[in-house]
Amino acid sequence: MNYSIAINQVSKSFGKKVVLNQIDLTIEEGQIYGFIGPSGAGKTTLVKMIVGMDTTDTGTIHVLNKKMPNLGLLQAIGYMAQSDALYSELTGMENLKFFASLYKLNKTEIKERISYAADLVHLTNELNKRVKAYSGGMKRRLSLAIALIQNPKILILDEPTVGIDPELRLSIWNELLRLKNEEGKTIIVTTHVMDEAERCDFVAMIRDGVILTRGTPKELKEQYQVDNFDEVFLKAGRNDS
Ligand SMILES: Nc1ncnc2c1ncn2[C@@H]1O[C@H](COP(=O)(O)OP(=O)(O)OP(=O)(O)O)[C@@H](O)[C@H]1O
């Protein structure tokens, strides 16, 4: 079977600390996959290796059947990091234009993509301001717009909705669902927000560098005999202690 993302026996340590321990995970095209787990569990480390920003110690990661890291996949993967990587002296528009220029897009596409992405995150009227004058939430929104700029097949979003108000959070999620349903995008989201985890097709609960459990939100609620996801999270943590 062809997977969008195939993670095979991946381990990673920093110094003596084992941060990920023999992770196996496959993600099919057109799925939204949520990574949840406590702070320090290893989610960001895993995500960075999927994007190709970091390398595994052992094991392999394939994205679109190509072994990572692979520079040829830059256009195919949109990544929103946990900390914003923006040019603060430039305006929002200049940031979007700069990142769009890194990809194979013609002038018309650049214009259309900037307009789409800025509109999605409700920044259209703020694009002429310098980023240093943006609030934390506005910077997150600009980072999300940048992750979408090249119309990537795969979106990897590390806590995309932190600092974003509930109304915009809902519209961003509606758009993620539309991107999945209508455009077949594959999306990975790390989150601490349990109602976001419920919107994913599959969820992997990561703790201490291992996947404690995985499945659809419904399966996990049944497995732990609870009716909301906060309780899944708490019980999964407890059962293993
Ligand atoms: N470059 C690094 N050097 C040393 N240790 C690191 C490095 N990057 C991450 N770590 C450590 O690896 C562990 C996992 O970190 P990671 O950022 O992957 O967790 P996380 O699950 O994403 O947490 P959070 O939910 O807080 O973002 C932590 O103990 C962290 O301190």
The structural domains of the chain, with segments of one domain joined by +, span 29-56+66-239
Extract the tokens encoding 229.
Answer: 């996801």
Degrees, nearest 5: CA angle 15-16-20: 90
How far apart, in Å, are the Cα atoms of 141 and each of 62, 169, 187, 191? 29, 10, 17, 16
Instruction: Answer whether 192's CB lies under 8 Å from 182's CB.
Output: no
- Tell me the sheet residues that pair with 202: 33
ipTM confidence score: 0.96
Per-residue confidence in pLDDT tens, the chain, 241 aa: 568 999 999 999 999 999 999 999 999 999 999 999 888 999 999 999 999 999 999 999 999 999 999 999 989 999 999 888 899 999 999 999 999 999 999 999 999 999 999 998 889 999 999 999 999 889 999 999 999 999 999 999 999 888 888 888 888 898 899 999 999 999 999 998 888 999 999 999 999 999 999 999 999 989 888 888 788 788 777 755 4
Would you state the pLDDT for residue 241?
Answer: 47
Q: Separation of 46 CA from ligand 1 center, angstroms?
A: 9
Would you state the pLDDT for residue 230?
Answer: 81
What ligand 1 atom has the least distance to the C-alpha of 41?
21
Would you state the pLDDT for residue 84?
Answer: 83
State the Cα–Cα distance between residues 214 and 220, nearest whole angstrom.
Answer: 7
Would you state the pLDDT for residue 93?
Answer: 97
105-110 long-range Cβ contacts below 8 angstroms, 24+ apart? 105/150
> Residue 162: which of 187, 186, 143, 188 has the closest Cα?
143
State the Cα–Cα distance between residues 112 and 141, nearest whole angstrom.
Answer: 18
Of the residues 13, 45, 190, 191, which should be mutated to test ligand 1's pocket, given the most ligand atoms within 8 Å of the CB?
A: 45
What ligand 1 atom has the least distance to the C-alpha of 35?
21
The superfamily in CATH containing domain 29-56+66-239 is P-loop containing nucleotide triphosphate hydrolases (3.40.50.300)
